[in-house]
A = this chain, B = another copy of it.
Amino acid sequence: MIYFDNAATSYPKPENVYQEMMRCIKEYCANPGRGGHELSIRAGRAVMEAREVIAEFFNIKDPMRLIFTKNATEALNIGFRVLNEGDHVITTSMEHNSVIRPLKTLERDMGIELTIVQGNEFGEVNPKDFEKNIKGNTRMIVCTLSSNVNGIIMPIKEIGDIAKKYDVIFFVDASQGAGTLELDVEYNNIDMMAFPGHKSLLGPQGTGGLYVAEGIEIRPIMQGGTGSSSENLFQPEILPDALESGTLNTPGIVGLGQGISFINSFGLENIRKYKSLLIEQIYDGLSNINGVIIYSKKEPSDNSGIIAFNFEGVESTEVSYVLDKAYGIATRAGLHCAPLAHKTLGTLKSGTVRISVGCFNTKDEVDVLLKALKEISDNLK
């Protein structure tokens, strides 16, 4: 099996992720922050260490403002709880359903106002389109770091500057790109950021996080035991407790910390360059195959690690199916939970085949992939 579905879940993980997760669950997986005994303290310390590693990775100054969640979807839904009736939100046509569905639901049920900035045929958005849509009740700009459909990278620095200028909350969905692209919340004026642990950050499934800048208060989406202020029948207001009810996923969080440690030891910039080489190789190879339409851009500055393509007139699912069954190559076809992005690219009907690279893919694997696609193309004639 050659795995090119890293935008869904990265696979495999670094060896240190497996090892420390297993060590955690076998040796010290008591309840973190819930007891005073040795194992509980050790579990709590492991969670805190991971919190610090992740905070440093994103240049989050106060690790306590980093909330652990089960995935990016939960983080996004928690973040949207800052919104009130009548608030205006600006987002893009390249968002995943984890952004669009909560916003459409808030529009329908709570009366928020929604503006969707349209991307061009590659999903590129113009920062000016955000600025010109800002009005008195604009409370938030939500934007993906890069598209999960075609990897296009959004101009988040420019958008962040606009958000800051107009005192609007800037909420970044870093699901695609965190762990590949340099991402500094201070530099980019990011007020809130959601990320999954199991994609390019190389952690396990069941992990994710939300960063909330100082000064932003969120109504908890859940209430429950926090191990703090136990006598209080209401949720404590202190972070991270206010937004982290119930027992945390200690081994998962430990694994996520290890994933980021791996990235740090390898060098984010090196991982980025390596993935870009693979993307260029795929792009160039695909460009030489008959009947291929590519929906991604080639340049590293435009691509976080995804090539979206179709064979002209062929359903994306058919191509992915053949790649899997005949060649043992995993890709993902269809709409990738992002219908507006596909509408933007003009692929809502057919979907696209998505090749998403990870740092453990090799140039040899890309050769096998390209050979397979060439054969499929030849058979289509």
Checking B40, B73, B252 against A249 with a beta-carbon cut-off of 8 angstroms, the contacting residue is B252
Q: Which A214-259 residues sit within 8 Å CB-CB of chain B?
A: 221-227, 230-235, 245-252
Residues of B near A337 (CB, < 8 A) are 34, 224-227, 230
Q: By the criterion CB–CB under 8 Å, are A70 and B249 in contact?
A: yes
Are A22 and B18 in touch, CB under 8 angstroms? yes
Number of interface residues of A (CB under 8 A): 87
A126 at the interface (CB under 8 A from B): no
Residues in B whose Cβ lies below 8 Å from that of A332: 34-37, 40
Q: Is A100 an interface residue (CB 8 A)?
A: yes
0/1 per residue, A74-100, Cβ < 8 Å to B?
101100000000000000000011101
Instruction: Give A249 Cβ to nearest chain B Cβ, in Å.
Output: 3
Is B251 within 8 A of A206, CB to CB? yes
Cross-chain contact A204 with B25 (CB below 8 angstroms):
yes
With an 8 A cutoff between CB atoms, is A172 at the interface? no
Say yes or no: A73 contacts B246, CB within 8 Å: yes
Complex: A48 Cα to B281 Cα, angstroms: 37
Judge whether A164 is part of the interface by a CB distance below 8 angstroms: no
Query: Is A31's beta carbon under 8 Å from chain B?
Result: yes
Query: Does A303 reach chain B (CB closer than 8 Å)?
Result: no
Please, how many angstroms separate the alpha-carbon atoms of A210 and B333 in the complex? 31
Contact bitstring A51-77, B, C-beta under 8 A = 1, else 0:
000000000000000000111111011
Q: Indicate how many identical chains form the complex.
A: 2
A3, closest chain B residue (CB)? B39
Cβ of A380 under 8 Å from chain B: no
CB-defined contacts of A345 to chain B, threshold 8 Å: none
Q: Given B22, B72, B96, B328, which contacts A22 in the complex, CB threshold below 8 Å?
A: B22
B9 to A30, Cβ gap below 8 A?
yes
Q: Nearest chain-B residue to A34 (Cβ)?
A: B8
**In the assembled complex, which residues on chain B have CB atoms less than 8 Å from the CB atom of A37?**
5, 320, 323-324, 329-332
Does B35 lie within 8 Å of A13, measured CB to CB? no
- Chain B residue numbers with a CB within 8 Å of A97 are 223-226, 230, 233
Interface set of A (CB-CB < 8 Å, partner B): 1, 3, 5, 8-9, 11-13, 18, 21-22, 25-26, 29-31, 34-40, 69-74, 76-77, 96-98, 100-102, 104-105, 108, 196, 198, 204-208, 221-227, 230-235, 245-252, 317, 320-321, 323-324, 328-340, 348
8 A-B pairs (CB sep. < 8 Å): A36-B320, A36-B333, A37-B320, A72-B246, A98-B224, A98-B225, A206-B207, A233-B340
Q: Which are the 3 A-B pairs with shortest beta-carbon distances? A: A206-B249, A73-B246, A225-B337
